[in-house]
């Protein structure tokens, strides 16, 4: 069986199973059905905290990693520590390549990402996307906290897709959950979450690039708010065609 067929096979198993499973069962199913290294990337948002809780409380062999850009909120670092204490697990951090970071800051200054969309993408590429590539090296599956209703750009995500860039299966266990459902889940289980969420920061990234949103504003409107027409994405989640039974890989 080719790698593409194996990935398609896993996608079909997951997409068949997910609709009838709760979050804990979804995460366990991914581990049971996929052999090899599975990586969950957390930015400590509320969705990520729900997934991390499922992994840690069930003691599932899935690596939990984070990308420390060096520009996160103090509240995020505090939550990171609190989460490690709560579950007794270390969350593996990846950092930007120091020479690339030095070159970036030498070129555009500490806050050069505001100068242009291109400059911002360059900063995200250096601080996030390149470390993500290292985090996923050798992985066969990547778990994310993405939901379809987070933004129009994410509306088409499904439970899983084959990520062509990293050549692995990308799984979104919360793809069909609403934000309200995630919040209720976290509160019901007393899962630690970022206090910034209660102050209007619905989506939390780097401190200088995130603001609170007003009631009724889109969930990701506070990300790179100065960019009027740009997609609210940093490049970690390139749009991938989702597999379906009618659209199978060659
Ligand atoms: S979110 Fe802002 S500070 Fe963080 S990597 Fe992207 S541009 Fe740089």
Best residue among 110, 234, 235, 237 to mutate for probing ligand 1, ranked by most atoms within 8 Å of CB: 234
Best residue among 45, 71, 203 to mutate for probing ligand 1, ranked by most atoms within 8 Å of CB: 71
Is 139 in contact with 166 (CB distance < 8 Å)?
Answer: yes
Neighbours of 1 (CB within 10 A): 8
Best residue among 73, 122, 128, 222 to mutate for probing ligand 1, ranked by most atoms within 8 Å of CB: 128
Q: What pTM did the predictor assign?
A: 0.92
Q: Whose CA is nearest to atom 3 of ligand 1?
A: 206
pLDDT score recorded for residue 235: 72
Give me ligand 1 centre to Cα 116, in Å: 12
Residue 54: closest CA among 158, 161, 145, 181: 145
Question: pLDDT tens across 44-55, in order?
Answer: 999 999 999 999
* Mean pLDDT for all residues in the chain: 91
Q: Whose CA is nearest to atom 6 of ligand 1?
A: 124
pLDDT score recorded for residue 8: 81
Pocket lining: 223 vs ligand 1, CB cutoff 6 Å = no
pLDDT score recorded for residue 71: 98
Span 181-200, average pLDDT: 98
The CA-based dihedral angle spanning residues 219, 222, 228, 233, taken in that order and rounded to the nearest 10 degrees: -70
Pocket lining: 26 vs ligand 1, CB cutoff 6 Å = no
Beta strand spans in the chain (E) = 38-42, 63-67, 92-94, 141-143, 160-163, 168-171
Q: Whose CA is nearest to atom 4 of ligand 1?
A: 206
Pocket lining: 209 vs ligand 1, CB cutoff 6 Å = yes
Question: Quick one: 208 exposed, middle or buried, by C-beta within 10 A (0-12, 13-18, 19+)?
Answer: middle
pLDDT score recorded for residue 250: 28
Span 2-12, average pLDDT: 78
Span 96-124, average pLDDT: 97
Query: Is the confidence at residue 201, as pLDDT, over 50?
Result: yes
Of 3.40.190.10, 3.40.50.300, 3.30.1360.120, 3.40.50.620, which CATH number belongs to 3-195? 3.40.50.620
Span 129-139, average pLDDT: 97
Domain boundaries of the chain, sorted by first residue: 3-195
Question: Quick one: 89 exposed, middle or buried, by C-beta within 10 A (0-12, 13-18, 19+)?
Answer: middle
CA distance 81 to 214: 29
Question: pLDDT tens across 19-36, in order?
Answer: 999 999 999 999 999 999
pLDDT score recorded for residue 228: 81
CA distance 10 to 213: 38
Q: Residue 181's pLDDT band (boundaries 50, 70, 90)?
A: very high
pLDDT score recorded for residue 155: 82
Q: Residue 11's pLDDT band (boundaries 50, 70, 90)?
A: confident
**Radius of gyration of the chain from its Cα atoms, rounded to whole angstroms:** 18
Residue 120 to residues 114, 146, 211, 226, 227, Cα–Cα distance (Å): 6, 22, 16, 11, 10
Strand order across the beta sheet in which 38-42 lies = 92-94, 63-67, 38-42, 141-143, 168-171, 160-163
Q: Whose CA is nearest to atom 5 of ligand 1?
A: 124
């Amino acid at each position: 069986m080719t790698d593409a067929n194996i990935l398609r096979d896993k996608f079909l198993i997951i997409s068949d199973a997910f609709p009838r499973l709760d979050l804990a069962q979804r995460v366990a199913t991914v581990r049971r059905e996929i052999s090899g290294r599975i990586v969950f990337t957390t930015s400590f948002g509320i969705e990520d905290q729900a997934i991390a809780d499922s992994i840690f409380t069930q003691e599932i062999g899935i690596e939990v990693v984070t990308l420390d850009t060096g520009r996160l909120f103090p509240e995020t670092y505090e939550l990171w520590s609190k989460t490690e204490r709560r579950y007794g697990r270390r969350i593996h951090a990846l950092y930007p390549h120091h020479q690339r970071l030095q070159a970036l800051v030498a070129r555009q200054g500490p806050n050069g990402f505001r100068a242009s969309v291109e400059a911002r993408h360059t900063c995200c590429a250096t601080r996030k996307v390149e470390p993500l590539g290292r985090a996923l090296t050798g992985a066969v599956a990547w778990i994310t906290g993405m939901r379809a209703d987070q933004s129009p750009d994410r509306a088409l995500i499904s439970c899983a897709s084959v990520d062509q860039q990293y050549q692995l299966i990308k799984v979104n266990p919360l793809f069909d959950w609403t934000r309200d459902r995630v919040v209720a889940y976290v509160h019901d289980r007393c899962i630690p979450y970022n206090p910034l969420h209660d102050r209007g920061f619905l989506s939390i990234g780097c401190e200088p690039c995130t603001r609170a949103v007003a009631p009724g504003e889109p969930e990701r409107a506070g990300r790179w708010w100065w960019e009027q027409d740009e997609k609210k994405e940093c490049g970690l989640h390139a749009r991938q065609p989702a597999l379906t039974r009618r659209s199978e890989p060659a």
